[in-house]
Amino acid sequence: MPAKAARKPAAKKAAKKVAGKAAAKTPVLLSGGNPQIAKGYGDAPVQAYIAAMPGWKRDLGRRLDALIERAVPGVYKAVKWNSPLYGIEGQGWFLGLHCFTKYVKVAFFRGTALRPLPPGASKSPDTRYLDIREDVPLDEAQFIAWAQQASRLPGERM
């Protein structure tokens, strides 16, 4: 019997190890449902972030990513601080996304220079926000215009 008892903990340990590897592949959702994605540059980490966005936010993330790519061909992408960033390589970041419980926040890092101003004020003197909620339609034409304007401004160095 002691040999059988010794095998049980080893089997449990192996099962935990396998479960841990599977869990490590599924991004953790931080407060507000923001996906925890490792820092990385390029499209792949941004797509991993979008794939991990919960519920309706995932479709919105895909849509925003496509609109940004259309508005700014050749846009540079990265995930830093668990948020996708969009910029012009060598010039800095002009826009970032972040999931919250009831909305997705778009940060325009030089938003006070955009016309019309994005609606959300910030503690940062240059930043303006757009909060996109599930039940409020996105004005795609305005979003594209803001992304294009933002991409022509000096980017934020982060």
The residue among 153 and 13 whose pLDDT is bigger is: 153
Tell me the longest C-alpha to C-alpha distance in the chain.
77
Q: Is residue 19 scored above 70 in pLDDT?
A: no
pLDDT classification of 25: cutoffs 50, 70, 90: low
What pLDDT score does 114 carry?
Answer: 98
Please provide the CATH number assigned to the domain covering 30-151.
3.90.1150.200
pLDDT classification of 14: cutoffs 50, 70, 90: very low
Question: DSSP letter string over 92-157?
Answer: EEEEEEEE-SSEEEEEETTGGGSSSPPSB--SSSS-EEEEEETTS---HHHHHHHHHHHHTSPPBP
| Dihedral (CA of 141, 112, 151, 85) sign | negative
The residue among 3 and 65 whose pLDDT is bigger is: 65
Q: Give SS3 for 75.
A: coil
What pLDDT score does 32 carry?
Answer: 81
The residue among 41 and 14 whose pLDDT is bigger is: 41
The residue among 118 and 2 whose pLDDT is bigger is: 118
**What tens digit of pLDDT does each residue of 105-120 get?**
999 999 999 999 999 9
Helix (H) or strand (E) holding 63: helix 56-71
